Each structure stands twice: as C-alpha cells, then as structure tokens.
Amino acid sequence: MINLSIRNGSERISFPLSTVTYFHGKNYPLKYEYIKVIRKHFNKINHSDYDLENNTTTNIYIDNDEINLRNWNYFEIDTKFDFDSQFKLRSKSLMLQYLESVLVNIEYDDTVSTINILFDDLTKVINEKIELGNSEFSIDAKLEELTLKSLLKLIELNIIKEESLATEYNLTYTEYVLTQIRLIKKVAKTNELKNNLVLVQLPYYDETIIDELKCDLENLYFIVVNEDNEIDAKREEVIYFGKQITPLYDDVELYNKIMLEHGVITTLEELNSVVNDFLKNIDNEITKILKENL
C-alpha cells in the first residue's frame, strides 16, 4: 500500500491510499481546500504569485516523494459527465482514453489486416480510373490505411438501451454513475503500468455504486467525497473532516481525542465498534461525543 500526502500551505495530511478512501464529514469548506490541491496538481497548474507571496503553495507526495504525474492518470466521477460531449472523443476525454485502451494494437487484428489489403487493391483500381492518359505528370490516389488513430475518426457512438436508441437522459442515476466507474476500471486494467487516481463527488451513494468502486486492481484508487451519507467502511479507509482533519486509521490520535478526554473506551475492539456506529450514523452516548468533538 502506498502513502499519499497532500500539503496545503503549512498544513499537511497523510494517509495510506486504499482502493477506496473516504473524505467523510460535514465540513466541506475544509475538505474543499484539499480537493483543490488534488485538482491543481493533476491539472498541472503552476503556483500563482499569490501562492508564493502568502506561503500557500501546495504539493502532493507519494511515499514522501513528489508525485510523478507521468506515472498517473487522473479522473473525476460526478453528475456533470456529458455523454454527448464524451462521444465526440475530444482530447483527454474519458471515452477517448477508454477506446484507446481497449482498441490498442487493433492494427494487428485479422479483420483490420484484411481490410488494409483490400484498401491496397482498391487503391490500384482508383488509380487506373483516374489515369490522365498522355500527360507530363500523373495523379496518384492513396487510401489511408486503417490504424487506431484513423479508426477513432470513423467511430460513431450511441447509447442502446433495451435494444432501442437512447440518450443519457434514459439512464437511471445508478446506471449513469456505474458507467463512469466501469469505463475507468477498464482503462486501469488495460494499462497496468500506470496508476489511476479518481476523485468521486456524488450527492448520493447507493450500495450498488459502493460495491462497484471496490475492486482488486492494484493501480486504481478512488477518493470518495462524502458529506453525511452513512458508510460501511473500515476506519482505516476514512479521513474525517469535522472541526479539524482526523485520520480514523490513527489509533493514537483517536485514543487521545476520545479515551483520554472522555474515558469511555478501553479496548481497540470497542474503538472499532464505536467508529463503525459513528460512520453508520447510529446515535448513542459515545457517537454523540464524537459528533461534538471531532
């Protein structure tokens, strides 16, 4: 497991990057400060003069080394995903990256090889028909060979649902979200040499979406931004944004904030149980203490 650190000015949070890591809690303004850092660096935005003058420079580290963006893809999953725009296969679009991944080396497919041979024959036929006859020069025609690049220019994408032509407005919320997750998972699976960080910002997470986020790909990491939805997660996967930032994997910090101040937990097993209740929005004496103090 790798360790991700996000530095925001003089503040810094570090945590083991799980397949799914939750940025949980109601303090979205605090959470947003660290979301900005992620976006800024993966979008390769340089520090502004304001950053330099006010000591608000930022950075991201993997295992204490500055992240090498050449080794990472970055994606976002949200409710702004536009299928019409994606189907146009514009530069850096998720759908373009998906097709480039699944169609890699398509030039060596038997069907494509056969078509290219036929294109050569057709080129000869065309050149015979456009021959000028007695002339001091000739005109030569050539059909472009099918490659991945040329094929992508020919592809027209549509949504088909229940055997009918559909649009994204015919998809349910869950279908809309699952499609984004599955596209990204396919990109990650077809290029195991590159790591993939995915920021997930959704208003609602149902069980199907959470289950789809869980996978066994070692190069794919989801950071799930969650406000108040109850979550069934290991506390090691949760960074809590309340009055301040609390990594719930940190036994010492939790003990200091709960046990030493309130003396209500005596064992690690009890601590795990309490945090589990807290994440599931189960109200009891101790979870109320957590809500008031974290």
**What pLDDT, on a 0 to 100 scale, did the predictor assign at position 281?**
86
DSSP string, 44-85: TPPPPHHHHHTT--EEEEETTEE--GGGEEEEEESTT--HHH
Q: 248 burial class (0-12, 13-18, 19+ CB within 10 angstroms)?
A: buried
Task: For CA atoms 39, 43, 47, 50, give the dihedral sign.
Answer: negative
Q: Pairing state of beta strands 58-62 and 65-66?
A: antiparallel
Are 108 and 231 in contact by the 8 Å Cβ rule? The answer is no
Rounded to 10°, the helix 173-190/94-102 angle is 50
Q: What is the DSSP letter of 10?
A: T
What residues does each domain of the chain span? 3-87+158-247, 106-154, 250-294
pLDDT reported for residue 265? 65
Whole-number Å distance between alpha carbons of 207 and 177: 12
Compute the CA torsion angle 82, 87, 88, 92 (nearest 10 deg).
70
Mean pLDDT per 10-residue section of the chain, whose length is 294 residues: 92 92 94 96 93 91 93 95 94 92 93 94 92 82 92 95 95 97 95 94 94 93 90 89 89 73 70 86 82 79
Q: What token pair was written down for 193?
A: 């040499």
Question: Is the C-alpha dihedral spanning 49, 55, 58, 61 positive or negative?
Answer: positive
Q: What angle do CA 166, 170, 173 make, to 5 degrees?
A: 140
Residue 261's pLDDT is 64
pTM score, whole prediction: 0.89
